[in-house]
Amino acid sequence: MPESTVPTKKLQWKWIGISIVLYAVFYVLSLVFLANSGGVIAAIGVFAGIILVAAVAGFLSEGVTLWEPAIADAGLMLLFLVGMLVFIPRQIDVRGAVFGMTIVAIVVFLLSLLGAWFGERAKKLWRTKPPESVPKE
């Protein structure tokens, strides 16, 4: 069955879920491995990982998957914000946290879109397509 290169009109919820799992695993791994290396290196690793995970999701998915990794990562950022507000309400400035996390969610959303575009581009260039069947007359 040939792959579609035309974006689908519907979101692929399966790939939103897979992207959430990939991002959650990546964030945990980056906290474990990069936390002791310093703030700047950890930040670079996290932002590069956002692009990398979105590219992997875009490359491995069926069809065109651009919005799904971006929605998954922005959703994770917003869930993190809600978790911060619920579990540590007295230790943070709510207005500052909401503003900061909104900016972070927007940046993460855009980086995820960029990564998914890289993944789709790589899929288009590197993935071998199965031979198309010749219709019998």
pLDDT in tens, 67-94: 999 999 888 887 877 777 787 767 667 7
φ, ψ (nearest 5 deg) of residue 121: -65, -45
| pTM confidence score | 0.75
Is the CB of residue 118 less than 8 Å from the CB of residue 53? Answer: no
Residue 38 lies in a domain: yes
Residue 133 lies in a domain: no
Residue 2 lies in a domain: no
pLDDT category, 46, cuts 50, 70, 90?
confident
Is the CB of residue 2 less than 8 Å from the CB of residue 58? Answer: no
Residue 134 lies in a domain: no
Residue 4 lies in a domain: no
As a whole number of angstroms, the distance between CA 26 and CA 71 comes to 16
In the predicted model, what is the mean pLDDT of residues 94-100? 76
DSSP class of residue 90 equals: T
As a whole number of angstroms, the distance between CA 49 and CA 33 comes to 13
* Number of domains present in the structure of the chain: 1
Residue 99 lies in a domain: yes
Q: Give the domain extent around 57.
A: 13-126
Residue 8 lies in a domain: no
Mean pLDDT score across all residues of the chain? 79
**Percent with pLDDT over 70 in the chain:** 77
Is the CB of residue 56 less than 8 Å from the CB of residue 73? Answer: no
> Is pLDDT at 126 greater than 70 in this prediction?
yes
Is the CB of residue 69 less than 8 Å from the CB of residue 49? Answer: no
